[in-house]
């Protein structure tokens, strides 16, 4: 009966399933099939003939490579900075947007904050490179107005990581706030009414009503974000990097691209990718079980 009922639903809503098909094919081709081929990390790739099984050879080379240690450190530093400085921002944006009472202005703020998410990193990189131009970029024009010297942020090893953080914050803060706004809309309005009758201020309502109601969403998204901890943003770094700052923003993904796609070391690159994936899995599982023990909430 269940099987027949499922087939009936599929036949009834076949248009919806057809619309779902391209997305499913994308995940099968680019996310599931590559898992099967991760065995390449334990083999020497051969264009002609069978691959040769070499065991842990590529991992031993990987962990003994000074270049790998440098990109691993860069990845950890950049991802940590993004977690600390970017993750709380969508929460703050959702709280502020929720307090906007004038409908048209609220919609305007939401539309403007969502827009950067739909821009590619090629476009965003162009915007930020122009904005930070040492000669006539907007940031340096303001610095010069206050009698401060111009800075070339894009070639400064001291500043480039902060450029990554702020550009990612600008792109994702508004869009990532959608889930928090949806969670806020589920809160019973009578709680706010009772709090106002008792004399609670807006900040007190946020602290004692809104934030506790958001905790489940915050914990879930934090755990999921940790799963991408080792992915510090290939598109972003690839478009903003240059030879002057390569040593401080070269991350695992750009390293894999360089040694795998450009240099043709497919087995070695697969070993690096597998290492990244395993660390991401460990972080998700570890954070989930720790959260379940401490708060009783997790991803599942």
Q: At 195, which CATH number?
A: 1.10.3720.10
Give the residue numbers spanning the domain of 47: 1-55
Q: Which of 100, 228, 121 is nearest to 170 (CA)?
A: 121
Same domain, 46 and 156: no
In a domain, 122, yes or no: yes
Report pLDDT for 16.
Answer: 87
What's the CA gap between 131 and 170, in Å, rounded?
13
How many helices (DSSP H) and strands (DSSP E) are in the chain? 17, 2
Same domain, 222 and 274: yes
Report pLDDT for 2.
Answer: 56
Same domain, 268 and 167: yes
Residue matched to tokens 């065991």: 55
Domains in the chain: how many in total?
A: 2
Same domain, 183 and 285: yes
pLDDT per residue, tens digit, the chain (300 aa), is 456 667 788 888 888 889 999 999 998 998 888 888 888 899 998 888 888 899 999 999 999 999 999 999 999 999 999 999 999 999 999 999 988 888 889 889 989 999 999 999 999 999 999 999 998 899 999 999 999 999 999 999 999 999 999 999 999 999 999 999 999 989 999 999 999 999 989 899 999 999 999 988 898 888 888 888 888 889 999 999 999 999 999 999 999 999 998 998 999 999 999 999 899 888 888 887 877 777 776 667
Same domain, 186 and 283: yes
Determine contact, residues 251/237, Cβ cutoff 8 Å.
yes
CB atoms within 10 A of CB 145: 8
In a domain, 300, yes or no: no
Same domain, 37 and 149: no
Report pLDDT for 299.
Answer: 64
Q: Which of 11, 31, 55 is the last residue of a domain?
A: 55
Same domain, 127 and 243: yes
In a domain, 232, yes or no: yes
Same domain, 99 and 220: yes
Determine contact, residues 137/130, Cβ cutoff 8 Å.
yes
In a domain, 129, yes or no: yes
What's the CA gap between 1 and 9, in Å, rounded?
12
Same domain, 207 and 253: yes
Same domain, 93 and 224: yes
SS3 label, residue 43: strand
- 136: which residues sit within 8 A by CB, 6+ positions away? none
In a domain, 60, yes or no: no
In a domain, 279, yes or no: yes
Same domain, 119 and 248: yes
Same domain, 69 and 51: no
């Amino acid at each position: 009966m269940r099987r027949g009922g499922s087939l009936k639903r599929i036949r009834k809503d076949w248009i919806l399933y057809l619309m779902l098909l391209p997305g499913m094919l994308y995940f099968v081709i680019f996310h599931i099939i590559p898992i099967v081929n991760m065995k390449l990390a334990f083999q020497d790739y051969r264009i002609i003939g069978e691959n040769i099984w070499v065991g842990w050879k590529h991992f031993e080379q990987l962990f003994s490579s000074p270049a790998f240690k440098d990109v691993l450190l860069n990845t950890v530093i950049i991802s940590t900075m993004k977690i600390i400085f970017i993750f709380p921002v969508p929460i703050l944006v959702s709280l502020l947007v929720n307090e906007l009472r004038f409908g048209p202005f609220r919609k305007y703020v939401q539309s403007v904050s969502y827009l950067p998410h739909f821009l590619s990193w090629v476009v965003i990189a162009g915007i930020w490179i122009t904005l930070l131009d040492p000669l006539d970029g907007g940031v340096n024009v303001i610095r010069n107005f206050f009698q401060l010297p111009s800075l070339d942020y894009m070639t400064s090893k001291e500043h480039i990581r902060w450029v990554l953080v702020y550009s990612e914050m600008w792109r994702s803060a508004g869009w990532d706030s959608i889930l928090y706004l949806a969670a806020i809309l589920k809160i019973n309005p009578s709680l706010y009414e009772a709090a106002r009758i008792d004399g609670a201020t807006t900040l007190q309502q946020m602290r004692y009503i809104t934030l506790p109601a958001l905790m489940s969403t915050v914990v879930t998204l934090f755990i999921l974000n940790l799963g991408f901890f080792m992915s510090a943003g290939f598109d972003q770094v690839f478009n903003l990097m240059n030879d002057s700052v390569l040593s401080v923003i070269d991350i695992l993904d750009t390293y894999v691209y360089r040694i795998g796609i450009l240099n043709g070391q497919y087995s070695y690159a697969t070993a690096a990718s597998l290492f990244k994936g395993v660390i991401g899995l460990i972080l998700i599982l570890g954070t989930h079980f720790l959260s379940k023990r401490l708060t009783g909430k997790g991803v599942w």
